[in-house]
Structure 1
Amino acid sequence: MDNEPKRGLLALLQGAAVPAGHWALRGGETGLAKWLETEGGKDIDLWVGSEALEAFCASLSHASVGVVSLENDPRWLRHVVFVMPGEYAGQLVDISFGDLKVGATLTCREALVTTGVGPFGPQLTGVAAVSDLLLRKLLRGKAPNDNRLQEARRHWQAASDEQREAWLRDLDDTIGSRLVGRVLSHLGGSMVTRRDCFDFSLAAIRSSWRFGGPGLLWRRRRRMVLGRRQRTLLKRPVASVLLHLCGKWEEDRTINLVAALKNLGATVQYLNVPPRRSLLGRCSLAMNLIRCWLLGKVVILADESDSSFNRSVAARGTDTLFGAAGTIRLRKAGTSAEPAINEKELVEQYYLAAHRWYIDEPGLAQRLCKHESYKSQGTLVVEG
């Protein structure tokens, strides 16, 4: 199987201008080997020290579409996600920085993170590797496979007594002594059961509520999509995006646009802008827009006159629901042998618009990415 894009991405990461010990690949040898064998845009997970984050991201910025996710609240797992197009075939680089967590549940303090040399590049070692290979899986309600479990046990045996004691004290405060005892039991040779997965996932929920609280949940409210959480090619839940069609569109071009969006995993709703004097029609449109926003749908809003949209619809709510307007410019029908819909541009702009809810700090995204793409909003004006 051709995995040159992934090997090229590994080479790019290994060439990052960051001192040794300040970053590492996550997932252990087993997880990275599986990532290399898997087709498609599966994330590659990394850890980067807080102080080295901007320097590390600068090494990726020139090769990326942009930041599609950024969380920087210290109460939660802090991480940033880049999309790597072109020669890297749209791979995702998911960088956790600072403390290692599952949600708001601490699994390893940054001060306890150690790294070493692995077959694919720098990798986590000691208790940081144990938290990554074993504890992260359990807190997500999953059982690690035998290879991951054996690898976690080797790292546990290699960790110093001082590091182990400090890590266990942290865990005792986070998930309680009963579950800490189970962690030690699994590291000592016992198998993971379904009951373990349930108990640890419940502990993660309680801990995230305790350390995050309702305030953080409210801040993250726009990440919650009520509708079917389909996974796009880039492994993120579909979010609400508004496509505004300017002028008259031929039926076949509209069908092609809908097909391209559905291929991304999006649920599409086609709506027409009613006449300006139709109060009932505008009320119906407003209700449909709100419903689509709640369900995370892509709305194709057709408006032949164009002017009524700008003065009425956008000004009266779509900016609030979907964000300010961006533009996708399509080739005029019949002016080129190529398809009228530039699917590459549509894909890139759609992802950036759909992921705007996943960026907490646009200013930090700008510094990390060095692109303008972090400003992409949820309304895309499609000109054909």
Structure 2
Amino acid sequence: MTENTKIPSFDLTRNYARVKEEVNVAVLRVLDTQHFILGPEVEALEKEIAAYLEVKNAVGCASGTDALVLALMALDLKPGDEVITTPFTFFATVSCITRNGATPVFADVDPVTYNIKSEDILAKITPRTRAVLPVHLFGQMCPLEEIKDELKSRGIALIEDCAQAIGAHRMIDGRVARSGSVGDMGCFSFFPTKNLGCYGDGGMVSIADNPEFAQRVKNLRVHGAGKTYFHEEVGINSRLDALQAAILRVRLRHLEGWNEERRIVAERYMTLFAEKGLLELITPPAELAGGRHVYHQYVIRAQRRDELQKFLDERGVTSRVYYPLPLHLQHCFSYLGYAKGDFPVSEMLADEVLALPMFPELLPEEQERVVNEIADFYGVGK
């Protein structure tokens, strides 16, 4: 690697090289069957994901967005119903609430973990609250043990947005509780850049222990049909295809190892930041006690963020901003009546966060170069 080589924010080609032969076998297996939509490969993946998460059921669908749509459809939301969520997340989290006819209610986030704050959730509950939709952002679980029992006692559904956090867990009641296993349902994305990504679009809904939810989501993903051409209700077309399922089955076998490699990359960043004297100028992500962060993204808070990003780009280091405008300030949600200043932590993070290169195959020398460039920008560590 030369100093002129571009360092990507992620590199799927390196990862593919590690599993190419296994993936080729899986794809050819599907091609030989000529069974491409749902079917045995999808059923096998659903069972394997359910076993990995330690939940009763998992239902494959076409994308992470559809997973959210389907989970919320299963709740039979009506106009006037409220769903509490975070304004500091990807757009789909909130658009899926509005697409189901409900009203998003925002609660601010923690400046250390970037995740929605439990006390803020509880403060926003009203008689109209039907669900809470926390996002396990950037690979770290929210401490759902702080709200789960209270929500259950009030009859409020807990739907986890796990799109960025497959494999993350918390210790709850003395056991490992993976993301997607704590709430009533969990929603996963298999977009190619995710920790467990396929080679196209894909998603899944995990259902902890409610067989009625599981059957409902299965029906809703095929136009609301309990059996072919007999429709109990109006659903959507959101089927996971067999090729993606076969690829995911291969990649699932490697997920734990890849997540550990991401954690090693994160530890190395921390060491390099300390060695360069950068910890007064940037704030690394923090792992909450009792949890396991799987670093879907490695997101720092940085002084003069926009200038730093431009500096890094000019020197061949790719970085990204997740997310530049909180959802309560997006034009399409202006009808909700929120204004600048309503969620100060989310707004502060939008001005400060920067995602550095993060993927299992990121080389130590690439990380050193990233950190050296950051040190050069701030004029420290020389």
TM-score bracket, shorter-length normalisation:
under 0.3
Compute the TM-score of the two structures, normalised by the length of structure 1.
0.27
Compute the TM-score of the two structures, normalised by the length of structure 2.
0.27
Higher helix content, 1 or 2: 1
Question: Rg: which structure is higher?
Answer: 1
Bigger relative contact order (CA 8 A; separation at least 6): 2
